[in-house]
Amino acid sequence: MTTSSENIPTATDSRIPDAETRDTTEGRVYTVTGGDWDSVLEDAIHDERIVINLGPQHPSTHGVLRLVLELEGETVTQARSVIGYLHTGIEKNCEYRTWTQGVTFVTRMDYLAPLSNEAAYCMAVEKLLGIEVPRRAQVIRVLLLEINRISSHLVALATGGMELGSLTAMTAGFREREEALHLLEFITGLRMNHAFIRPGGVAQDLPDGYETKVKEFLQVMAKRLPDYDKLLTGQPIWRNRLKGVGYLPVDACLALGITGPILRSAGLGWDLRKTEPYLGYEEYDFEVPTSTDADAWARYLLRVEEIHQSLRIINQALKKLEPGPVMVEDQKVAWPAKLTIGPDGMGNSLEHVRKIMGQSMESLIHHFKLVTEGFHVPAGQVYVPVESPRGELGYHLVSDGGTRPVRVHVREPSFVNLQAMPAMSEGGMVADVIAAVASIDPVMGGCDR
């Protein structure tokens, strides 16, 4: 297909004002920057009102998030969120990598729930391939997802406590999170950004002694979780600080597309693990806690209760782990599960390299091509959502039949939920903006992907 030069926008084209251009081997590239915030905010400036910046480098903004607040006294009359400071281009990077290599990118989006990103991405690839993951791999995925959910909620409690002045909540939350990260490191080899869930299954089987380690984690959490009720739930200062703050009723949630604990705090028990089960979640016995208070207090209580429910699921997953493969048998897809990690935790072990090179030249060539070129995925497009700690996390993948995706687009809950910040904050005190944002629990790595 050819394009006449008359149809190519130029730097002075009204369709792309003030855009710098440069010609590359792939065509013309435009560099477009955002507008000047001084002009954007002119309509927000009134007599006797001031406009302040909260962030983007502020301890109460959950990362590099900028809040532009118009104040009349201490009352917020207008609130705007400004994102993009953490932009990584992960979605676009995935389009220049093989389907398996994409896992190492998506796990870095919501860096507090890396395994949710890995699971959703791999389930979408598997749907395009038309393959079913072995049962043992499905149970391992559930086990990892729920450990990760607990660690994510603990960060929400810890950072929320820190921002509102409860430093003991912060130290306790991160102490328990360390237990979860130690367990994930034992199972996957890494504390975060695991890239352990792969298209077709998981990278490796569970290590020896996993059952003992998981049971020890369950015991520690069962012993320490009641302390949060003593420290926070039963503390009148904490309760009064959160009750009635960041109010967002269910109709506003639905209008804004809000999901996760925020939606459930408004009374709608929407949890994809129950409403649209995946990975065999329909076999697990657990509850979806809800509330009708629709405020920051309700969201705090729900996250604590969801930790209890995740512990129930982990206990059941241990009993469902039966011997079997952890990767599909198709050798065109199954390479990642054949990996044996070297002592540095990164490269192949020497025994594995000797085995590959000693089998035959054909197997070595196949291994090399599979690693460098990847496997072909049938043409089509899919959307696969999972219930991440922050809500519906969905992957829309488009394939043209090649070894790389044509498009990777993520429905990221932090990005969508952050739209609720003005509705929660306007009309309230500036101090309550901190509690509202903490109750949303956004992760800017997901917003700015």
Please check the confidence at residue 167 and state whether its pLDDT lies above 90. Answer: no
- First vs last Cα of the chain: how many Å apart? 31
Cβ atoms within 10 Å, residue 361: 8
Residue with tokens 């237990």: 179
Separation between Cα atoms, residue 334 and residue 290, nearest integer Å: 41
Q: Mind spelling out the 3-state secondary structure of 363-406?
A: HHHHHHHHHHCCCCCCCEEEEEEEEECCEEEEEEEEECCCCCCC
The verdict on 143 and 23 lying in the same domain is no
> CA 156 to CA 57: how far, in whole Å?
18
- Is 128 in the same domain as 276? yes
**Which helix or strand (DSSP H or E) is residue 370 part of?**
helix 361-372
Domain presence at residue 349: no
Domain boundary among 82, 100, 118: 82
Q: E-assigned strands of 130-251?
A: 197-198, 201-202
Q: Are residues 56 and 150 in the same domain?
A: no
Last residue of a domain, one of 15, 50, 82: 82
Pairwise CA distance, residues 309 & 261, whole Å: 13
On whether both 169 and 38 belong to a single domain, the answer is no
Same domain, 115 and 52: no
pLDDT bucket at 222, cuts 50 / 70 / 90: very high
Q: Are 402 and 420 contained in the same domain?
A: yes
Average pLDDT of the residues in 379-391: 94
- What pLDDT score was predicted for residue 55? 77
Indicate whether 132 and 198 sit together in one domain: yes
Tokens coding 196: 């352990």
* Residue 2 Cα distances to 5, 8, 21, 27, 170, angstroms: 9, 11, 20, 12, 59
Identify whether 16 is part of a domain: yes
**Domain-embedded: residue 404:** yes
Q: What is the 8-class DSSP label of residue 34?
A: P
How many structural domains are present in the chain? 2
Euclidean distance between CA atoms 352 and 269, whole angstroms: 48
**Tens of pLDDT, residues 84-129:** 888 888 999 999 999 988 999 999 998 899 999 999 999 999 999 9
Same domain, 388 and 431: yes
Q: What is the average pLDDT score of the chain?
A: 85
What is the Cα–Cα distance from 53 to 340, expressed in whole angstroms? 50
Same domain, 77 and 220: no
pLDDT at 131 > cutoff 80: yes
Which of 121, 97, 98, 92 minimizes the C-alpha distance to 448? 92
List, in sequence order, the alpha helices (H) in 229-347.
236-242, 250-256, 261-265, 272-275, 296-320
Region 238-253: what's the mean pLDDT?
92
Q: What is the pLDDT of residues 321-379, one digit of tens each?
A: 999 988 888 777 776 445 555 555 556 667 777 776 676 677 677 777 777 888 889 99
Is the Cα dihedral 357, 359, 365, 371 positive or negative?
Answer: negative
- The verdict on 54 and 113 lying in the same domain is no
On the question of pLDDT at 1 being above 50, the answer is: no
Q: Are 443 and 62 within 8 A, CB to CB?
A: yes
- Assess whether pLDDT exceeds 50 at residue 228: yes
Region 390-406: what's the mean pLDDT?
A: 93
Cα 181 from chain centroid?
16
Report percent pLDDT > 90 for the chain. 52
Buried b (16+ CB within 10 A) or exposed e, 270-294: bbbbeeeebbebeebebebbbbebb
Instruction: Flag whether pLDDT at 40 surpasses 90.
Output: no
Residue 361 in any domain: the answer is no
Quote the pLDDT of residue 18: 61
Q: Quick check: pTM over 0.75?
A: yes
Residue 344 lies in a domain: no
Place of tokens 């009064």: 240
Q: Is the pLDDT of residue 214 over 90?
A: yes
pLDDT-wise least confident of 9-23, 117-131, 143-157, 309-323:
9-23
Q: For residue 164, what are the domain limits?
A: 90-333+375-447
Q: Which of 392, 141, 116 is nearest to 279 (CA)?
A: 141
The predicted structure's pLDDT at residue 337? 40
The secondary structure of residue 36, as a DSSP letter, is: P
